[in-house]
Amino acid sequence: MATAYKKGDNDTRPWGKWEVLDSGEHFCVKRITVNPEAILSLQMHHFRSEHWIIVQGEAMVILGEDTLYRHANDSIYIPVKTKHRIKNNSSTEPLIFIEIQTGETLDENDIVRFEDSYGRVQ
């Protein structure tokens, strides 16, 4: 299976929401909105890499052992099997970024969580 996502798929999460803008064999493009001060789980993926482009807001990104700060028009590359997470640093505005997933298998089952503020660690 290359991708389980299709255009228009969406989901609401405790930290915000995502929507699939486009998908095809071995790629998926999502718009992700992170609520003020919310943080995604510290996670990694076995089968996909990700490219993030910040569209709005200020993000704190954990990438491996590094902590990075990114703003609108900045980008981040997350290689396969690299621990990562993103936090919205604003207390009032949403963080919006575009996530481009590439890889052999693209689905929600390829998430390994290490830390999570919402009790979703496996």
- Residue boundaries of the structural domains of the chain: 10-115
Q: Would you state the pLDDT for residue 101?
A: 96
- What is the pLDDT averaged over residues 100-107? 92
More confident residue, 6 or 68: 68
Q: Would you state the pLDDT for residue 115?
A: 87
Q: Would you state the pLDDT for residue 120?
A: 75
Order across the sheet with 66-70: list the strands.
66-70, 59-63, 84-88, 42-44, 112-115
Q: Is domain 10-115 in CATH 3.90.1150.10, yes or no?
A: no
Please report, rounded to a whole number, the percentage of residues in the chain having pLDDT higher than 90: 80
Q: Would you state the pLDDT for residue 16?
A: 97
Using the predicted structure, report yes or no on whether residue 1 has a pLDDT greater than 60.
no
For 13-56, write each residue's pLDDT tens digit: 999 999 999 999 999 999 999 999 999 999 999 999 999 999 99
pTM of full prediction above 0.85: yes
